[in-house]
Chain A
Amino acid sequence: EDQVTQSPEALRLQEGESSSLNCSYTVSGLRGLFWYRQDPGKGPEFLFTLYSAGEEKEKERLKATLTKKESFLHITAPKPEDSATYLCAVQAPAGNKLTFGGGTRVLVKP
């Protein structure tokens, strides 16, 4: 059974204070690892797809990296608008179902 664990559950940052979020996964053959951002009362917004160990993707202040067992989402010099819940999900080879982690709630204070 696919498993995804995210840590920490919550993260409080000062504006400009860089940090990293962790997503550890167990899957029988990774088809893709996805990062989403979710604002309160909204659906998840797609950020990145990673497939191969060593792969990196960047978007503004966010950078996602992937190893064979985990992925990191690095937030560089965050701003208050980066406050959200960040969700990690893995896609197994069979079909295109996603298994989500519990998410990391990030609060960036000005």
Chain B
Amino acid sequence: GAVVSQHPSRVICKSGTSVKIECRSLDFQATTMFWYRQFPKQSLMLMATSNEGSKATYEQGVEKDKFLINHASLTLSTLTVTSAHPEDSSFYICSAGRDRRNQPQHFGDGTRLSIL
């Protein structure tokens, strides 16, 4: 199956730090990448959708100035959590997809973010 690489897998940092997470589609060109947040024992909550070369579309309630998304190429999207605070601690997962009917999204292995 398709491979999506997410890095880093785990981050522990102090409150106020900005953290960048990378998501790479390794074997196909992803027209769209998605960023999700997952709380313990809960399902995935979509945060934003990013298309290569255009601004990301954020879901309701997600602060775009807090969660900066850049999709510079068809194989790379980044999520930057700016001035992170303990309440931003979570499991962040990216996925990559092609805009074709029935094409599945393929997910990275997630980033566990812990803000002290």
Residues of A within 8 A of B (CB): 31-32, 34, 36, 41-46, 49, 51, 87, 95-103, 105
| Residues on the B chain within 8 Å of A45, using CB | 1, 107
Residue of chain A at shortest CB distance from B49 = A97
Q: Does B105 contact A (CB under 8 A)?
A: yes
Q: Is the CB of B46 within 8 A of A97?
A: yes
Q: How far is the CB of B103 from chain A (nearest CB, A)?
A: 7
Knowing A31-B102, A43-B93, the reply to whether A96 touches B32 (Cβ < 8 A) is yes
Q: Is the CB of B43 within 8 A of A46?
A: no
Q: Is the CB of B102 within 8 A of A43?
A: no
Q: Is the CB of B108 within 8 A of A43?
A: yes
Taking CB atoms and an 8 Å cut-off, the chain B residues in 68-116 that contact chain A are 91, 93, 95, 97, 99, 101-110, 112
Q: Does B42 contact A (CB under 8 A)?
A: yes
Going nearest first, the 4 A-B pairs with the smallest beta carbon separation are A43-B107, A32-B102, A46-B104, A100-B43
Number of CB contacts from chain A to chain B under 8 A: 60
Q: Is the CB of B105 within 8 A of A96?
A: yes
Q: Does B67 contact A (CB under 8 A)?
A: no
Q: Does B11 contact A (CB under 8 A)?
A: no
| Residues on the A chain within 8 Å of B99, using CB | 95-96
